[in-house]
Chains A and B, each alone.
Chain A
Amino acid sequence: MARAIGIDLGTTNSLVASVDARNRPRIIPAEEGRPLLPSAVHYAMDGAIEVGLAARRRAPERPVDTVLSVKRFMGRGPGDIRPEDRGIYHFDETGSVVKLAVNHGKRAVSAVEVSAEILRVLKKRAAEDLGGPPGPCVITVPAYFDDAQRQATKDAGRLAGLDVARLVNEPTAAALAYGLDQRREGTFAVFDLGGGTFDVSILKLEGGVFEVLSTGGDTHLGGDDFDRVVAARLLERGLTPAVEQLTPALLRGAAAAAQKIREALSSEERVDAEVELPGGHVLTASLTRAELEELILPVVERTTGPCRRALEDARLGGEPVDGVVLVGGATRTPLVRRHVKVLFGQEPLTDLDPDTVVALGAAVQADALDRGGRDDVLLLDVIPLSLGVEMMGGVVEKIVLRNSTIPASATQQFTTYADGQTGMVVHVVQGERELARDCRSLARFTLKGIPPLPAGIARVEITYAVDADGILSVSARELETGVEQHVQVKATYGLSEEEVEAMLVESIEHAEEDVTERFLVEWRVEGERIVAALETAFQVDGELLSPDEKAPIDERIEGLRQAMAGRDYLAIKAWIESLDAASKEFAERRMNKHIGKAMAGHRIDEFAGVGGKPGGEL
């Protein structure tokens, strides 16, 4: 029978593991007998693709054609990539999915495709090792991954031909590996500092159920950040001959050197090395552990906030956890271990290798799923970020709160904002911030066919359902007249079924046209919604603006209308952003006015934030 496998698809390295005949999880060597497969993919000019060590060796000479740390780009949409992540890569942001332009722009690959190359190699290795194609598979994701990032990970698995039975949060997988090994009950903290992401989770193991109590982290914090600050210091001090402008190759080479030096300083007090860099440069690298710690301290301290918050959310009432599990290569750094000890008031557990523990846990979970495992430990995961909907004025109404156990679903009712309103834009967002623009936008769709009724009479019920993978689907229906509409949405930046199909048959061009069309339609709808909302707002609260204040808003409305008549969705988007900025003050005044009203009338619901929302326009 095909064996289930667990995959740790990491930022820096990836691993595959399975459970052996004696029910023990073990790592399947990825290449050359090593457990780790570097998460590196090289696209050669002749069209060949190399993955792993071979690809990573190419990185110094061909940095732009060699994709490292692709995980940082998973599930990211146009304009969504943080400047510090852009690094040396070239991006093609014309489609719905960001692509990396390689081979002098001759080839564009999405993060999902790059990840699928890594997964293909792991799948092949597993097949060779197990003597046949692997069965169902579990892929781990950082607990902090949002819906779009999870969707992208699942898509990558499908693209690689894997039967992805479940996505499991990395810290949860790590705890699972420990929990089964040690057979102990209690609460655990998992501190996972990998190459590119930081996760912290508080879990409870009791009565055969592993329950995630809370989770937090930072999707942009990891060992790479250590290397970046160390590389900057090394280049500043010891590059001969010096250069005016650092090239990608030099940066890449220095980062690789920084990583080696940092790792060496985990056991040594001082490292002196001369590193040859591309282009005949030499990097004279001398660093003591004290200097390293001073450099990385600010990065390490960024883990404090998420840890405190996770402990608070877990509601342990001040009780210390029973153990702290370390995951990720960066936790080998002595400074990190000392920091963890201070945060949690105890020495962390180090029985298992922090590099392989996640994959081992994933294999355990894959095996349990495969056997319908009634005797095994059950994993209860939570949703890492709140899911909400954008309300009038751009504020977010949370529908499913963060740290809710999944699967979960929640329903909320809304009413129309304008008389005779027949459509409602539902903007689905994820995050803890109050304003939709500060949250992650997941999807946007329009519920049509609402019967034209006076404002506030039509009732629309919105249901969010999160499945056991943490992936969301949203439905909306109108209740008043019994007219039902059911709309299923998938995250905008994930891939639709059709897109995956299209990629499988390599007819990407057509899919892209569709996607552009969809964006155009979506942004036009959004533009119309905003103009209509503003016009209604002018009618109701026009007195809040002087003519001079209103003029710039009117100008932008006109500009937006012209853009909506055209076919460039990016132009529409830009005008919407400009209009948003210009009307921000107006929106704030309106909010204040309405809140002020409620306070003056001592209306208990507004004051305490309970019950019906003003307007309720979505």
Chain B
Amino acid sequence: MTCWACKSDVPPEAPSCPACGKLQPAAGGEDLFAALGLPRRFDLEPSELEARFRERSRRFHPDRFARADARERRIALDRSTRLNDAHRTLREPRRRAEYLLRLAGHDPLAEARTLHDPEFLEEQLEVREQLAIARAEGDAAAVAALGQGARERLAALEGELGPLFAAGAPHEELSRRLARARYYDSIIADAVPSPQRD
């Protein structure tokens, strides 16, 4: 890599040019794990992820380059935007799992659509019906209980992701978990009183 400003050689991992100190654009094809300087794997220590995010934010944030020239400001904006995207995506286990599947060439959303999961679906339709009845009858306790049930199942499901990845489970298994999680989301969303609107 060559520095855009002074044309010196820049090592591929270095964020700034060792010679002139100018911020360098991200390496082409850099994934979100690399944007945070983390290994590409499911098991991440949340505190490690947060620490990396803070450290890199201090390095890339546009506020650090308010007095820099236009090109360097642009690079800071791009890198910081990308960093924030990485942080948002990877800090949540499900989004991290989805992203890993996509990196491996799978499309969990498309797979979810063709997934055959009739028993689960049947069960969910039943829960939805119970929810609809409870809401129609104004039975707040029943609504809350259904929401709580979905929350517990979701937590259990998220707990399974780590071991599945560690065991090298087939991607269909993971996609199925992610698809199911969305059903729980939708129940949880419908089971809480809607947030106060402004």
A interface list, Cβ under 8 A from B: 136, 165-166, 206-209, 211, 218-219, 305-306, 309, 368-370, 372-374, 378-380, 404-410, 432-433, 438, 465, 467-468, 602-605, 607-611
- Which of B50, B63, B115, B121 is the one whose CB lies under 8 Å from A378? B63
17 further A-B contacts with Cβ under 8 Å, apart from A407-B80, A605-B113, are A206-B54, A208-B54, A209-B58, A369-B63, A405-B87, A407-B84, A408-B81, A438-B197, A467-B77, A468-B63, A603-B113, A604-B117, A604-B179, A608-B112, A610-B109, A610-B113, A611-B109
Which residue on chain B has the smallest CB distance to residue A371?
B67
A207 lies within 8 A of B51 (CB): yes
Q: Is the interface of B mostly helix, strand, loop or mixed?
A: helix
Does B8 count as interface, using CB distance less than 8 angstroms? no
B197 lies within 8 A of A433 (CB): yes
A305 lies within 8 A of B196 (CB): yes
Chain A neighbourhood of B115, CB < 8 A? 604
A407 lies within 8 A of B77 (CB): yes
Which residue on chain B has the smallest CB distance to residue A309?
B195
A602 lies within 8 A of B121 (CB): yes
In angstroms, Cα B124 to Cα A602, docked, is: 11
Does B164 count as interface, using CB distance less than 8 angstroms? no
Chain A neighbourhood of B58, CB < 8 A? 208-209, 374, 378
Does B65 count as interface, using CB distance less than 8 angstroms? yes
Which residue on chain A has the smallest CB distance to residue B111?
A604
In angstroms, Cα B185 to Cα A608, docked, is: 8
The 14 sampled A-B contact pairs (Cβ below 8 Å) are A207-B51, A208-B54, A209-B58, A305-B195, A372-B68, A374-B58, A378-B64, A405-B88, A408-B88, A467-B62, A604-B115, A608-B183, A608-B185, A609-B186
- Give the distance to chain A from B33, nearest Cβ to Cβ, in Å: 18
Does B198 count as interface, using CB distance less than 8 angstroms? yes
Which residue on chain A has the smallest CB distance to residue B187?
A608
| Interface set, chain B 78-126, CB cutoff 8 A to A | 80-81, 84-85, 87-88, 109-110, 112-113, 115, 117, 121
In angstroms, Cα B186 to Cα A607, docked, is: 9
Given contacts A378-B63, A604-B112, contact A408 B196 (CB under 8 A): no
Does B55 count as interface, using CB distance less than 8 angstroms? yes
Which residue on chain A has the smallest CB distance to residue B107?
A611
- Which of A207, A404, A605 is the one whose CB lies under 8 Å from B84? A404
- Which of B62, B85, B112, B179 is the one whose CB lies under 8 Å from A468? B62
Which residue on chain A has the smallest CB distance to residue B68?
A372
A604 lies within 8 A of B63 (CB): no
Given contacts A433-B197, A605-B113, A611-B113, contact A209 B57 (CB under 8 A): yes
Does B20 count as interface, using CB distance less than 8 angstroms? no
B77 lies within 8 A of A609 (CB): no
Given contacts A404-B88, A468-B61, A604-B113, contact A209 B66 (CB under 8 A): no
Chain A neighbourhood of B186, CB < 8 A? 607-609
- Give the distance to chain A from B62, nearest Cβ to Cβ, in Å: 4
Does B182 count as interface, using CB distance less than 8 angstroms? yes
B67 lies within 8 A of A372 (CB): yes
Most chain B CB within 10 A, of A309, A370, A433, A608, is at A608
- Give the distance to chain B from A394, nearest Cβ to Cβ, in Å: 17
Chain A neighbourhood of B85, CB < 8 A? 408-410
Size of B's binding interface in residues, CB under 8 A:
37
- Give the distance to chain A from B190, nearest Cβ to Cβ, in Å: 11
Given contacts A605-B113, A608-B179, A611-B112, contact A432 B54 (CB under 8 A): no
- Give the distance to chain B from A446, nearest Cβ to Cβ, in Å: 27
B54 lies within 8 A of A166 (CB): no
- Which of A206, A370, A432 is the one whose CB lies under 8 Å from B197? A432
- Give the distance to chain B from A467, nearest Cβ to Cβ, in Å: 7
Chain B neighbourhood of A374, CB < 8 A? 58, 64
Q: Is the interface of A mostly helix, strand, loop or mixed?
A: mixed
A610 lies within 8 A of B80 (CB): no
A378 lies within 8 A of B61 (CB): yes
- Which of A136, A380, A409 is the one whose CB lies under 8 Å from B66? A136
| Interface set, chain B 145-197, CB cutoff 8 A to A | 179, 182-183, 185-186, 195-197
- Which of A136, A407, A438, A608 is the one whose CB lies under 8 Å from B81? A407
Most chain B CB within 10 A, of A165, A166, A373, A409, is at A409
B interface list, Cβ under 8 A from A: 50-51, 54-55, 57-58, 61-68, 77, 80-81, 84-85, 87-88, 109-110, 112-113, 115, 117, 121, 179, 182-183, 185-186, 195-198
Chain B neighbourhood of A306, CB < 8 A? 196, 198
A166 lies within 8 A of B63 (CB): yes
In angstroms, Cα B73 to Cα A165, docked, is: 13
Given contacts A368-B63, A404-B84, A409-B81, contact A605 B109 (CB under 8 A): yes
Given contacts A209-B58, A409-B85, contact A608 B67 (CB under 8 A): no
A605 lies within 8 A of B112 (CB): yes
B54 lies within 8 A of A373 (CB): no
- Give the distance to chain B from A83, nearest Cβ to Cβ, in Å: 17
- Give the distance to chain B from A2, nearest Cβ to Cβ, in Å: 12
In angstroms, Cα B113 to Cα A372, docked, is: 49
Which residue on chain A has the smallest CB distance to residue B65?
A372
- Give the distance to chain A from B145, nearest Cβ to Cβ, in Å: 20
In angstroms, Cα B75 to Cα A528, docked, is: 41
B113 lies within 8 A of A209 (CB): no
B84 lies within 8 A of A408 (CB): yes
B55 lies within 8 A of A207 (CB): yes
A373 lies within 8 A of B64 (CB): yes
Chain A neighbourhood of B87, CB < 8 A? 405
Chain B neighbourhood of A379, CB < 8 A? 63
In angstroms, Cα B32 to Cα A98, docked, is: 44
Chain B neighbourhood of A219, CB < 8 A? 198
A407 lies within 8 A of B182 (CB): no
Most chain A CB within 10 A, of B67, B87, B179, B185, is at B67
Which residue on chain B has the smallest CB distance to residue A302?
B196
In angstroms, Cα B50 to Cα A609, docked, is: 30
Chain A neighbourhood of B183, CB < 8 A? 607-608
In angstroms, Cα B83 to Cα A468, docked, is: 13
A380 lies within 8 A of B61 (CB): yes
In angstroms, Cα B188 to Cα A608, docked, is: 12
In angstroms, Cα B65 to Cα A607, docked, is: 46
Given contacts A206-B54, A611-B109, contact A407 B62 (CB under 8 A): yes
In angstroms, Cα B175 to Cα A604, docked, is: 12
In angstroms, Cα B198 to Cα A432, docked, is: 9
In angstroms, Cα B198 to Cα A207, docked, is: 34
In angstroms, Cα B50 to Cα A211, docked, is: 11
A166 lies within 8 A of B196 (CB): no
In angstroms, Cα B125 to Cα A439, docked, is: 31
- Give the distance to chain B from A532, nearest Cβ to Cβ, in Å: 30
Shortest beta-carbon contacts, A-B, top 4: A305-B196, A608-B182, A369-B66, A209-B54
Chain B neighbourhood of A611, CB < 8 A? 109-110, 112-113
A309 lies within 8 A of B196 (CB): yes
In angstroms, Cα B85 to Cα A549, docked, is: 48
A465 lies within 8 A of B63 (CB): no
In angstroms, Cα B183 to Cα A127, docked, is: 60
Chain A neighbourhood of B113, CB < 8 A? 603-605, 610-611
- Give the distance to chain B from A533, nearest Cβ to Cβ, in Å: 26
In angstroms, Cα B38 to Cα A392, docked, is: 40
In angstroms, Cα B196 to Cα A309, docked, is: 8
